[in-house]
Structure 1
């Protein structure tokens, strides 16, 4: 894997920020886009811009082919059984809300349970809070181990025959931990529950096989995997999707409309009302092509190497605390410098051209579990190098010295 050749394909990386070459370490929030994705979106707007599934003219046919071709690419990426099991959404948040609103609110009631974990992103927490409130179900949490992982034993104790939904992130956006989704799905199914997976932090970084995992729903976002913003997808098992009602109504999702009654199209179109995110889907398809050309296994290996390198480098520094397990993690490190607020850390790093994330990362319950108000996070992707991490480490030493003198 030629990292220099890969970096050349990302125009945004070749700039200076505050007088320093840019080191972008915030891909867990949103990844950068390669030239092929930018060109695909540009080409669609320049040559094929039209609505889909409606017109019989040439532009409409080309736009429809590109849109549905992107759906096929998503299905292949996830090893879904059929393209009709892929619903295009605005992203992970919309996809998870669709499941919580259309599925959970119809199957849950008094005495039922919804099980999640304290490490969930707000997008995979608040929808289940609201579903539990609306249905009378009980929201339960699989407890975390001291290193932020979850144990199968705890999962088996928490998930019961009263559980209707188990919703867990595949990879934590704070801890970097990879959760045992296949085993959790087995436990859920033994108890008659469905398995919902937040794949926002896993899909960009590793090979995902929804049939092997045997998950019932799987959501992800395109902008974290070299695609455009505003596009994502929900995978669902066909039988479950066919039994769900749409939650948005309007054009394109209907089969027949009368003055007082309407019927819906088959899946996936009943869930894609209105003009869809056509250019976003085209860009997502191009991003999948880009990642497949590199190879998801190669990306996984590269990021795990960077994560191990960063963990070792930063853990050797005095006055820094790292969060999450040392191993079994994807390409990110979350940390705090002693006596320095993470926002101050991020500001100083930005002055040196290094972009990291600071805050609660949309995981306030997890921050309270960690007994902190916020953390800094450096996240890596296919275009990052050991040299990027070296610059981060050097800048953190300078930041520590600067605030140490200021405090002293």
Structure 2
């Protein structure tokens, strides 16, 4: 990791990290759920509403011009951040779920009986349910990659069964699992999809915030991510798409600004990306996301990825010392993201979450919007810890101390500390 990466200095940019919960310093380890926001992002959104608030594109006055310039400027920043060919390839949505629904409903409009859509068993519901709905509506068949014992996609089994074949029209895969932390070999799968003429969609919700991103290198045709997991506001997501593909696809929503011309008998469509952006957009949120991208780029995504790797490795090592903790997915920080789901002997994940919260440690408990994956693993739910660029080793130590206390409390171990 770069010697310039100063996590204590970075933490000073996040006002919420100064909070205390029940008299304990806040230890925020739920960044895969939503990240915290640096002051500069908070200030950007506040300043927009205080000084520049207007609708974009349609308001032909000074404030409208300022808002439009900032909004479209954010689009250009985000395009550069992910290696897009240009800002016209960036479609604003309200989150990854909407972006993936946009992909499913537009690409899915071309599906029919006999066609197949391939996903995986480790997908977030946002990259599963939309494809289920499309298949139910069109008569297409949904198929999926299984996982091996380590929690990685079982590519060998998929090859043996011919999972991706001449009937495959869409393959949609998470870059990084939000439960197992597995970094999937998306480029390899993209090549397989393209070899049979399929469209390759990537759910990059857990990838773009943590890893340097080049949509071309990933082999994606469409790629979705969300602002609130990468230091930006809630209510803003992105679908990147190849311009030639976006031009082929039908609109997703109808309304203002997505049209070329409207008559009582029909309509024509605006150029991309506006064809897919009906109505008033999340303007302040997009501008705030642009500032978040500026912040991430100032630090450097390579440095952030290196820090995440170190924190993940440290967390896995500390958990390995607790013989009543069982990590789901890879137990070494190799091709692994920062989300670490786990179970604790004799303690329900919701009890783990609540007990840790009583000591100021914020984690998540449940199925993490990946219920089929948990069923595949033979468990109803799990706890999950997830760090980010502001996470420290000391916070992981506090997590493990709180877990030891929680386990002792529920099992009656005398070693549990009050």
- Secondary structure of the residue aligned to 2:205 is coil
Question: In 2, Cα distance between the equivalents of 1:143 and 1:396?
Answer: 31
Residue 401 of structure 1 pairs with residue 391 of structure 2: no
Tell me the TM-score normalised to structure 2 length.
Answer: 0.96
Correspondent of 1:343 among 333, 350, 353: 350
Question: In 2, Cα distance between the equivalents of 1:21 and 1:260?
Answer: 62
- Cα drift, residue 247 of structure 1: 2.0
Equivalent residue, structure 2, for 1:290: 295
After superposition, the Cα gap between the structure-2 partners of 1:406 and 1:390, relative to the gap in structure 1 and judged at 3 Å, is: closer
Residues 349, 396 of structure 1: 8 Å contact kept: yes
Aligned 1:182-193 pairs, distance under 5 A = 182-193=187-198
Question: In 1, Cα distance between the equivalents of 2:335 and 2:235?
Answer: 30
Residue 100 of structure 1 pairs with residue 104 of structure 2: yes
Instruction: Give deviations 1:383-402, integer Å, cap 9, x for gaps.
Output: 00000000001111111111
Tell me the TM-score normalised to structure 1 length.
Answer: 0.98
Equivalent residue, structure 1, for 2:112: 109
Number of residue equivalences: 406
Correspondent of 1:265 among 254, 267, 270: 270
Please report the RMSD computed on the Cα atoms of aligned residues, expressed in angstroms: 1.1
After superposition, the Cα gap between the structure-2 partners of 1:42 and 1:356, relative to the gap in structure 1 and judged at 3 Å, is: same
- Cα drift, residue 135 of structure 1: 1.0
- Secondary structure of the residue aligned to 1:279 is helix
Residue 118 of structure 1 pairs with residue 121 of structure 2: yes
Correspondent of 1:37 among 33, 41, 49: 41
Residue 209 of structure 1 pairs with residue 214 of structure 2: yes
Aligned 1:75-86 pairs, distance under 5 A = 75-86=79-90
Equivalent residue, structure 1, for 2:21: 17
Residues 84, 267 of structure 1: 8 Å contact kept: yes
Correspondent of 1:386 among 383, 389, 393: 393
- Cα drift, residue 55 of structure 1: 2.1
- Cα drift, residue 406 of structure 1: 8.3
Question: In 2, Cα distance between the equivalents of 1:165 and 1:11?
Answer: 43
Residues 255, 264 of structure 1: 8 Å contact kept: yes
Aligned 1:292-311 pairs, distance under 5 A = 292-311=297-316
Equivalent residue, structure 1, for 2:383: 376
Residue 147 of structure 1 pairs with residue 150 of structure 2: yes
Residues 145, 155 of structure 2: 8 Å contact kept: no
Correspondent of 2:238 among 233, 239, 245: 233
Question: In 2, Cα distance between the equivalents of 1:214 and 1:129?
Answer: 24
Question: In 1, Cα distance between the equivalents of 2:365 and 2:154?
Answer: 28
- Secondary structure of the residue aligned to 1:255 is strand
Correspondent of 1:364 among 366, 371, 387: 371
Structure 2, unaligned runs of 5 or more:
none
Equivalent residue, structure 1, for 2:177: 172
Question: In 2, Cα distance between the equivalents of 1:15 and 1:227?
Answer: 20
- Cα drift, residue 151 of structure 1: 3.7
Any runs of at least 4 consecutive aligned residues in structure 1 with deviations exceeding 2 A, and if so which? Answer: 151-157
Question: In 1, Cα distance between the equivalents of 2:259 and 2:144?
Answer: 38
Question: In 2, Cα distance between the equivalents of 1:154 and 1:199?
Answer: 24
- Cα drift, residue 214 of structure 1: 2.0
Residue 2 of structure 1 pairs with residue 15 of structure 2: no
Equivalent residue, structure 1, for 2:337: 330
Residues 232, 285 of structure 2: 8 Å contact kept: yes
- Secondary structure of the residue aligned to 1:158 is coil
Equivalent residue, structure 2, for 1:61: 65
Equivalent residue, structure 2, for 1:137: 140
